[in-house]
Chain A
């Protein structure tokens, strides 16, 4: 892909999804300036990831959202106790506390299942079960 074409595609993706992704970032990172830096990082590096973006099994928006979450977890400190809340966590309001904790720790904090298992003093398999029970609840709420 020529440089100019790549930049035009990035510009197009920003026009289409920039505001949606910024809203998504703000759910994790309430500080406006930090959220802007994450968005800047995402789109300024997108030029050399376009092939992956258009060949993945996910659609472009969901792929961008995955990449955004990776950047948030890499560069930002998420505080789940205060303002950080995403739509998916809202869907778990009436879920069992253990399932909610497993989901929040893995999805919002980016912890591994092993790390959550150690934290909850349980097995990795149990954490996997809790995570999938939370995802199953999210699925039912979304349907």
Chain B
């Protein structure tokens, strides 16, 4: 194989842009370890791609890093100390698909039981409040009746 022709074919660009098939990629990586000129071409292209990206950079909003940081800290730690297993990453994917192109709010998973507990407690307090209000109204009416009876008795005593 003529190395010049191989390089001129655009194989280095295909590798850097992720456009090679698995076989072509394995072959390229094998050549890469053996041919210094290929490594040099790849380094040159990497520098060019990085420069192009630098020229077109756009600063994301501060909230983006805040969200990334929150997600990193939410991820469970694996035995080797890394943030998350590949399985948990897959589970996260499922949530994230909905994150793109819609307006759903993403909340921490522990908020759900907290919201349910707060909801139940609020219902209990509401029921107690209604119960005590009705009891208070009944007591007030009873007091009113007793006062009226007492006044009637006093009037009757005065008349006698």
Spell out A's residues near B (CB within 8 Å): 1-3, 6-7, 10-11, 14, 17-24, 26-27, 31, 34, 36-41, 43-45, 47-48, 57-59, 61-62, 65-66, 69-70, 75-77, 87-88, 106-107, 113, 131-139, 142
Contact with A along B66-104 (1 / 0, CB 8 A): 011101110101101111111001001100110111000
CA distance in complex: A136, B56 (Å): 23
- How many angstroms from the CA of A34 to the CA of B53 in the assembled complex? 19
Nearest to A64 among chain B residues (CB) is: B53
**Do B11 and A132 touch (CB < 8 A)?**
yes
Contact in complex: B84, A48 (CB < 8 Å): yes
Q: Are A24 and B53 in contact (CB under 8 A)?
A: yes
Q: Are A61 and B46 in contact (CB under 8 A)?
A: yes
Knowing that A36-B60, A44-B75 touch, tell me 18 more A-B residue pairs with CB under 8 angstroms: A3-B82, A6-B81, A6-B83, A17-B53, A18-B64, A21-B53, A23-B57, A34-B101, A40-B68, A44-B72, A48-B89, A58-B46, A61-B49, A65-B53, A106-B19, A138-B13, A142-B13, A142-B48
Chain A residues with CB under 8 A of B56? 20, 23-24, 27, 87
